[in-house]
Amino acid sequence: MEQIEKDRLKDLFAELPDEELPAGFQETVMERIRKDVVRAERRRERLTIFGLFVLIASLLALLFGLFSFLGVSLHWPQIRLSLSQYPSFFFYLYIGALVFCLWMADSFLRKTYRKRHIQ
């Protein structure tokens, strides 16, 4: 049965006219393969990081559940700070938040530029 199908397919392929491949076909195919490989590597990396995050979160939840079950209580030190003692705190907090936002915007714009112009 398979031999008959193979012969039939061979005859059908022999009847097809020979067509020339478009210019740059090989380069286009190789570029698509490279992009797929990069995409697969990024996906694998994201899954690894997500798995690590889930593992750490589950271990912390297990530890918290174990402490709750055993009745272990954690006593945190009592630290009292008054913001009135630090008048420049809000100024530095504002500057730090501004720097952080600008840093994140710069990172986003650089990544977007690289995607559009370099690759």
d(CA 96, CA 104): 12
Instruction: Please give the share of the chain, as a percent, with pLDDT higher than 70.
Output: 92
Tell me if 14 is assigned to some domain: no
Question: Considering the entire predicted model, what is its pTM?
Answer: 0.45
The pLDDT of residue 88 is 85
The pLDDT of residue 100 is 97
**Apex 63 CA angle, 66 and 71, nearest 5:** 35
Tell me if 64 is assigned to some domain: yes
The pLDDT of residue 22 is 83
Tell me if 7 is assigned to some domain: no
* Nearest-10 Cα torsion for 70, 74, 75, 81: -150
Tell me if 5 is assigned to some domain: no
**Mean pLDDT, range 90-96, rounded to an integer:** 91
**Domain of 94, in residue numbers:** 82-119
The pLDDT of residue 46 is 94
Tell me if 114 is assigned to some domain: yes
Distances (CA, A) of 23 to 26, 83, 89, 107, 119: 8, 70, 64, 37, 21
Dihedral class, residue 14 (left if φ above 0, else alpha if ψ from -120 to 50, else beta)? alpha
Domain termination residue (choose one: 33, 48, 71): 71
Model confidence band, residue 119 (pLDDT cutoffs 50, 70, 90): low
d(CA 100, CA 94): 10
Q: What is the pLDDT of residues 33-90, one digit of tens each?
A: 999 999 999 999 999 999 999 999 999 999 988 888 888 777 777 877 776 777 788 8
* Nearest-10 Cα torsion for 5, 8, 9, 15: 180
